[in-house]
A and B are shown apart, each in its own frame.
Chain A
Amino acid sequence: MSLAIKNLHAGLPDREILKGLSLEINPGEVHAIMGPNGSGKSTLSKVMAGHEDYAVTAGTVELDGVNLLDLSVDARARAGLFLAFQYPHEIPGVSNANFLRAAKKSRLPEGEEIDAIKFYKEMYARMDALEMDRSFTSRSVNEGFSGGEKKRNEILQLMMLEPKYAVLDETDSGLDIDALKIVARGVNAMRSPDRGFLLITHYQRLLNYIQPDFVHVLMDGKIVHSGGRELALELEAKGYDWLKEEELAAA
């Protein structure tokens, strides 16, 4: 039982971006991936989710033994994968409440209905925890939302959908400290022995609030170094150059 990425090679039609990435996330663990620009961080999350722009040329991504790469985008989601987008899309004319209800319903067996009262109770409780105003339920998804509001909306969905493995793609980008704290609170509230997290981030700052168990460095499409949370602090202090030198030395 784990989310296991094995030797993943993937990229755009003209360019390979992930060049043999391997990583395993067990339930209950929080992993962080950091890396210089262009290392492939965003590509990783999109490839895992199944974005059609990217082609996988080798490797597997197994969620509890099932290769996600064989499944459609929605089947992967229903298998338990959640992606908190770096740039969440707007859905005009579709209210947040309806969207969440549809997403929840898609995980129920055919013909089963959502209990409306339970649903609203849960949604309001989660929104309160994220300090989201009730008016958000009737607003169109992400339409006119500030950057911080969009990121909080991603975490709201995470909380409502209770995935097995959640990939957070630069969730901290564009957030001020207060928003960051709220988002972190939400994520921490969802930590459990049954759930694994993969945080993709640029800055160490997020990791002060969401303490990872493992930190990895993604460079040139591969994981080149792994460690505990002190690694993040080391990167913050020293940057990535010392790792580049190490990699060159190893080659």
Chain B
Amino acid sequence: MTTLAIPLPSRPVHPSGVWGWLTTVDHKRIGILYGVTAFIMFMTGGLEALYMRAQLSVPNNDLVSPDVFNQLFTMHGTTMIFLAIMPMGAAFFNYLIPLQIGARDVAFPRLNAFSYWTFLAGAIMLTSSWFLGGAPNAGWFGYSPLTGEAYNPGHGIDFWILSLQILGIASLAAAFNFIVTIVNMRAPGMSLMRMPLFTWMTLITSFLLILAFPVITVALIELMFDRFFGTNFFVPGAGASPVLWQHLFWIFGHPEVYILILPAMGIISEVVPTFTRKPIFGYPVMVLSGVIIGFMGWMVWSHHMFTVGLGPVANSVFAITTMAIAVPTGVKIFNWMGTMWKGSIDLRTPMLFAIGFIFMFIIGGLSGVMHSSAASDAQQQDTYFVVAHIHYVLFGGSIMALASGIYYWFPKMTGRMMNEGLGKLNFWLVFIGMNMTFFPMHFLGLDGMPRRIYTYDPEMGWNTWNALSSTGAAFLALGVLVFAVNLVRSARNGEEAGADPWDGRTLEWSIPSPPPEYNFAQIPTVHDRDPFWAQKREGVRAVPVAGGSGGDDEHSIHLPQPSYWPLLSSVGLLIGAYGLMYATSSLVALSVAVIGVSITMVSIYAWSFEPVNEPDGASEH
């Protein structure tokens, strides 16, 4: 590798240091970028949550003002969903999918880089709202007409709209990429029904993404036009229906829930078999239930709107579909338990988190089934009971699974093990902390405490549970801190992991840790559902196949070259979005918007004329 960074416009050839990261198209590096950014945003969102818990720890508290409290819960929800859980899932997609299917990179490496930089642009945009006149304050689902210009002047909602649009572009680009990668780049012999379950869930998630995000894109465009150009989409005075936003948001929003949980289920389906030394129980049913969840996720959105007054027929239909979607979810839970049944269970940290996931997700699932009854939901709507439910499925579910995945694949990514002692401490702090924080919310909700209130009177009878919940949040924060310390310490001087520390089953464990830039020196041929496991047990040798490469000689493997254009396209989007924010009132801002969009357009144009590899063979290494 040369250490030469050639300035624009010539293409970077093996740049090192910061330039290397800025221009990288390597899916593994992009995965790490996604992961680190998502972890930072997770801590930001956590800080917002801690502020809220501190405010609610005692009655009539005045730590934060009502207005700031509105901003806190809006930003907490938006940050955790769009900037922490989704990109953490994307980090795993990026790092693992090519490794699990036996490929050297994703189908569109530069598009992949573009996805990350655009995600970062959206994250910067949304978070900067705190410092630029106030964060959005209408809740993560931003119901109209509360988000309209008349009720919400100022730029908070504009930040929310534009950053979600940018994040949508990033998610769409990534999802297209993974669909093509998974469908089209599998190693010889890896039929669909031999794919690892994590890859399967990624495929389903990607389809949900490309079909759900256009809906929220249009809804946000409509809201943006209302606010910027005075159109009437959500103006009740002009005859508009406030329910339209709710429908559009939840047609996106419910598939989004599965976008958050399916990757988590995929991770658990990898971890549980490895740590029980058994193949997954009922693989075809696991695939099918994932597909059914992905399909039925589109038929339940109005259960978020039971109290809107859609009528008994609509409520009944959506209650039934909601109850029905619990079936494939339950099937998955039983299959994980079936996998553990009579297995030799190894209670290392990844497995602890996986078991924690199963327990917590069952609790969240049960309160979800309670909500599916429209009559019962009318009592729970807008109370802390719903807050308890969402945190059991998203924290107890998604976050626990993502933590399990980090402990599981960290050795593959860095070549070092994570500290087991700190890992166990991390697990128990998080497990106890989360139950202490979120379980009392069930009681608070049933006791009538509304969500999104900034304080309450001492006579309401909510003091004890709130105090307990806030104490739990401190444990939770401590747990996350231990996690962060463990990550940094283990990355520096963790124990050497070797290629296959867990006796893994899938292809990623058959290559060195961390994997070489080209992943597989020889593209493997797959004969089994758990190819590496079978190879180890039956001594089946991977048959070298001269795939897209020149064969065994690693010096002749063509890798996609780094490029500036994805980064520049995203920078242009960010500049354009900031300009657009003030464009209706300032000519300078309008020209900034035009400059930003022009940078993006020129970059995309240059990018489409840039070959994946320069023909002179500069990409060989």
* A, B in one complex: no
- A residues at B contact (CB < 8 Å): none
- B residues at A contact (CB < 8 Å): none
